[in-house]
Amino acid sequence: MLYISRLILTSAPLRKVASSRLTTLSRQFSTAKPTMAPVTKQYDFIVIGGGSGGSGAARRAAGWYGAKTLLVENGRSGGTCVNVGCVPKKITWNFASVSEMLKDGVHYGYDIPKNIKFNFAEFKKKRDDNIKGLNAAYERNWNREHIDLVHGTATFKSPREVEVDIDDGETAIYTAPHILIATGGYPIKPNGIPGSELGITSDGFFDIEDLPKKMAFVGAGYIAVELAGVMNAIGVETHMFIRGETFLRSFDPMVQETLTQRYIDAGVIIHKSHKGFKEVVSLREGKGEEKLLKLIGNDGEEIEVNELLWAIGRNPEIEKLDPAKIGVKQGPKGHLVVDEYQNTNIEGVYALGDVTGQAELTPVAIAAGRALGNRLFGTHHKNGGPHLSTSKLDYSNIPTVVFAHPECGTVGMTEPAAVSKFGKENIKIYHTKFTPMFYSFHPAEEKKLQPCEYKLICQGPEEHIVGMHIIGPQSSEMMQGFGVAVKMGARKKDFDSCVAIHPTSAEELVTMK
């Protein structure tokens, strides 16, 4: 969903396909006199942004219903998730988990030396190669479903018309009755702090090849938590600067408190109630341990680190597109305002994914894109039907996971939110905390590094489960399954009626008293 540098084409056949498609699309301009305006080309559907949401919408419209579809992307295919988000993050989390597993093996009798060396640069290369393969897969899918792909940057000319500066230097104009904005967002750095540009964002994290010895993370959201957890697990001295007492402040208090304490126990140095920085100074240029920055706090305290990562938020990627030019309404932070069907206030113009600020998760954008494609093009198609006229994504009870160390998952309401909505007297909490069997052989001081804690938030006499929060190994895999149950309206007695699978951590969720 994010606009990222330039497209990487990874194979000769793919370059040929992309080149052929671009040639076809721009041929009409190649013989035109310099003084002539480009000819406008008509489509049924124009999608701006080739990330998760844009791809989901385009493929549903073209692949299922045969809509003549144009996709405009000015970065690497696949957007944030594929290139600088979910995918490389999870691969890196796996890398760090191997490091942790090697330490665990000692307690099972394996003769594993301490401080086993690893080649992070080699790992990065393998990760990058994997991502390039995914870029190519996206484009193969688009080509197979007859989606026209243009590598360039779009700007609105009117509510039905966009002008695209194509990467090969040409300019083209395209028009359609339906235009989707799925341009995603980008990570920001703070304004007003001299030297803030010396730090990196989550995008730059995946460019790291030479590991820093000491790294600072500013932010308390899931990006800071995930990336800081990775670095700490592989031996980097890790500092987190947060404004409050806990991180993940939008999560249930159980998650906030337990995970924050786990990070402290694991060696992450958390600077709580931090007042922010007033200046960042470069002491030495370079990469990895060669780079040296001095961070000067508003309270006068100073710290020297080899790398600084800002994880303080994301902005919608809309500056060049300029939707305000055609009157699209924006929220206080610049996100595009949409209704429950992803409609903006301008007829025929839609938006979804991170650019709207709605549940900024890849699967959410994909699901919203497919629902929009169904509604716009499936209602009167033989492969669809009238029932699709109200197709939309239900944004309630969306399960999500933070790939921290350990993982944590959540679906539904936090305890404070449930109490606020239903009243404390109408809420019952089920809670358990234990050490997973895997850590039975670990010494006591290491067992505390592996918290496993679950909470069910139930409402009313029927004890409908309105919130579920879990911390511990394999939480991501568990949450996907239990998320279905919560989405379907499961009650506590439904969980109780399910026979436990023993021995597992998940059985605790169906045996709570």
Q: d(Cα 456, Cα 413) in Å, to the nearest integer? A: 10
Residue 438, Cβ neighbours under 10 Å: how many? Answer: 16
3-state SS, residue 198: helix
Q: d(Cα 222, Cα 205) in Å, to the nearest integer? A: 14
Q: Encoding tokens for residue 490?
A: 């499961």
3-state SS, residue 393: coil
Cα 314–Cα 197–Cα 182 angle in degrees, nearest 5: 25
Q: Encoding tokens for residue 444?
A: 């006591």
3-state SS, residue 36: coil
Termini Cα distance of the chain:
44
Between the CA of residue 305 and those of 199, 275, 377, what are the distances in Å?
A: 11, 18, 53
Q: Which residue has the tokens 């800002």?
A: 310
Q: Which residue has the tokens 């990469």?
A: 287
Q: d(Cα 128, Cα 284) in Å, to the nearest integer? A: 28
- Using alpha carbons, select from 114, 413, 129 the residue that is nearest to residue 250: 413
Catalytic position from the list 107, 239, 271, 502: 502
Q: d(Cα 423, Cα 426) in Å, to the nearest integer? A: 6
In this structure, the dihedral spanned by the alpha carbons of residues 93, 98, 103 and 104, taken in order and rounded to 10 degrees, is 90
3-state SS, residue 500: coil
- Using alpha carbons, select from 48, 95, 9, 96 the residue that is nearest to residue 355: 48
3-state secondary structure 308-362: EEECCCEEECCCCCCHHHHCCCECCCCCECCCCCCECCCCCEEECHHHHCCCCCH
Between the CA of residue 13 and those of 150, 154, 430, what are the distances in Å?
A: 17, 26, 56
Contact 280, 310 (CB under 8 A): no
Q: Encoding tokens for residue 315?
A: 């902005």
> Any idea how long the chain is?
513
Between the CA of residue 45 and those of 66, 75, 129, 176, 393, what are the distances in Å?
A: 11, 20, 32, 6, 20
Catalytic annotation on 502? yes
- Using alpha carbons, select from 137, 138, 180 the residue that is nearest to residue 156: 180
Which long-range contacts does 211-214 make (Cβ < 8 Å, 24+ apart)?
A: 211/120, 211/236, 211/288, 211/289, 212/236, 212/288, 212/289, 212/291, 212/305, 212/306, 212/307, 213/237, 213/288, 213/289, 213/306, 214/239, 214/304, 214/305, 214/306, 214/307
List the catalytic residues: 502
